[in-house]
Amino acid sequence: MKVHLIGVGGAAMGNLAAMLKQTGHNVSGSDQDLYPPMSDRLKEWKIDARPFRAASVKNKDLVIVGNAISRGNVELEEALRLGLPITSMAAALQQFFLKGRKVIVVAGTHGKTTTTFLIDYLLSRKALTGGVARVTKKAKRSADLPGLFAGGVRADGHPGFRIPGKNNPYFVIEGDEYDTAFFDKASKFLHYRPHHLILTSVEYDHADIFSDLNHYKQAFRILLRWIPSNGTLIPCMSDAGVSDVCRDYGFSDVLGYGKKALSHAKRSGKEVRFILKDAAGKEDLNFSCSPALIGSHNTKNATAASLVARRCGLTEKQIIQGLENFPGVVRRQQIRARNSMESLIFMEDFAHHPTAAKETLLAVRQAYPGFRIIALYEPRSATSHRNVFATEYVDALQSADLVLLPDVFNRKKVPSDQRLDVKKIVVELNRKGRSAKFCKDPGGVFQALKQDLNSRSKSSKSESERTMILAMSNGGFGGIYSQIDGLVSDF
């Protein structure tokens, strides 16, 4: 089949193009701008990707449209004029890869990518040797690995997608609640038909798509309707939004987790004790291990992943080995640089929602006791550059010792009466006794950081002081990360 993807430069669309290519389709794609790393990957995968032009869609059997593409796009208009079959990325995933599989969907406001990768890592342990071998070349040769589609890259380089082996019934996918396409404004995850559904959290997000919290919750309520009677709902019942969404659910087994639920976990230093129970409330597993991921939020993610793993037949030993050897995810609590004495560390995280920022800061505080924490936060996402969470951001960031904030990304995209006032957040943090500074742009953040580090290095306490720089953004933070890498490494 000749398949053309409009908007192939996005991570998800590019990965879908690769999967289609691997299954024997003739694949091409286009985008307005193609940048590394996806432009490099498309070349590596031998996928013809060009700027938009009407001629690109001619003689195609199917056109897949990314959710960033709207009417007026020259290729879309030509495909409509020619009467070509048009579908969305989410629908194409269902059509080509999910149909006939037991789909494990990870949905929720926070923790989707990490939990998706972790579940896949656990299931892959079973599919390989049952041991701790890394999923590398051996995994690529295996016919028994589950399918995977996640919105990120694993820290050991796994690209976040995999065609399922012919002998493996499972497909693990990150369930995005964002809208599907110009012709389908429902959430993407409604196309995935979960057999097992993990619901990590439900807090208001995507203010550009959902009018309010109830509108947001309704998307998840509809998702629950897709779980078959022989499937499983695995909700984090310590989350108020999840509890509300799942209140009247009763069509399949429910394996709740969290402080108020049957299954739970408790961390003591690096060690975590997991108590997993079955749908009848009977204790199934009770074990301790030292998971690779830090923070209470990741302890919950690990609990959810362990419950799914048990549902899929993994042993206690396989789960422990997977939790302790999981390499993590790029841009999730990822250490980018450190100086030779390890007294200065630079960590990057994808956190942009205030709850995610708060949980990440608390996790770092717990994992690095005694460190002075400098938080760099970029208000960039469609929700975070609006004033809907102004109060919550003050609460989220006040656990840092120093907060450096640039102005909102792309100010013109948000009306002034809806735009987040970053200066007010800085004033409020200072009023609460926290040190915070407003910077006009990311470049100003870097200069303020450099000035702070240099001034403190001259003080009498500098030899004993240890500092963690935690940068949080769902974008590139103005390209300053490479500058911080160099600053930290040479300090």
Domain ranges in the chain are 2-88, 100-325, 334-490
* Predicted local confidence at residue 130, as pLDDT: 46
The stretch 450-466 carries a mean pLDDT of 79
pLDDT at 468 (0 to 100): 94
Rounded to an integer, the average pLDDT of 177-190 is 95
7-21, 229-243, 412-426, range with the lowest pLDDT: 412-426
Q: What percentage of residues in the chain have a pLDDT greater than 90?
A: 66
- Gap between the Cα atoms of 339 and 485, Å rounded: 9
**HSE toward the beta carbon, residue 127, CA cutoff 13 A:** 28
Secondary structure (3-state) at 172: strand
* pLDDT score recorded for residue 471: 94
pLDDT one-digit tens code per residue, 125-152: 887 754 433 444 444 445 689 999 998 8
Dist CA 344 CA 473 (whole Å): 20
- State the CB neighbour count (10 A cutoff) for residue 188: 25
Helix (H, G, I), strand (E, B) or coil at 181: strand
pLDDT band at 239 (very low <50, low <70, confident <90, very high): very high
Q: Is 284 helix (H, G, I), strand (E, B) or coil?
A: strand
Q: What are phi and psi of 83, to 5 degrees?
A: 70, 30
Within 8 A by CB and 6+ apart from 30, the residues are: 4, 5, 6, 7, 8, 49, 50, 51, 52, 53, 56, 75
Question: What was the pLDDT predicted at 13?
Answer: 94
pLDDT at 391: 86
| Residue among 48, 52, 44 nearest 68 (CA) | 52
Average pLDDT, the chain: 90
CB atoms within 10 A of CB 88: 22
Do residues 292 and 358 touch, judged by C-beta distance below 8 A? no
Q: 13, 66 in Cβ contact below 8 A?
A: yes
What is the token pair recorded at 294? 């830090």
- Residue 275 pLDDT greater than 50, yes or no: yes
* Residue among 334, 332, 378 at smallest CA distance from 478: 378
> Mean per-residue pLDDT for 417-441?
89
Angle (CA) 9 15 21, round 5°:
105
Cα–Cα distance, 394 to 421 (Å, whole number):
12
Specify the pLDDT at position 129.
Answer: 55
Average pLDDT over residues 23-50: 90
pLDDT at 460: 53
Give the per-residue pLDDT at 352. 80
Q: Which pLDDT score, from 0 to 100, does residue 141 have?
A: 44
Chosen CATH of 2-88 out of 3.40.50.300, 3.40.50.720, 2.30.42.10, 2.60.40.10: 3.40.50.720
Cβ atoms 13, 7 nearer than 8 A: yes
d(CA 31, CA 13): 10
Asked if residue 287 has pLDDT above 60, the reply is yes
The CATH code of the domain at 334-490 is: 3.90.190.20
Q: Residue 194 — pLDDT band, cuts 50, 70, 90?
A: very high
Q: Which of 177-191, 372-386, 443-457 has the highest mean pLDDT?
A: 177-191
Q: Evaluate the CA torsion angle 84, 190, 175, 105 in order and state its sign.
A: negative
CATH 3.40.1190.10 describes domain 100-325 = yes
Residue-level pLDDT at 143: 61
Q: Give pLDDT tens digits for 199-216.
A: 999 998 888 889 899 999
Q: Assign 254 to helix, strand or coil.
A: strand
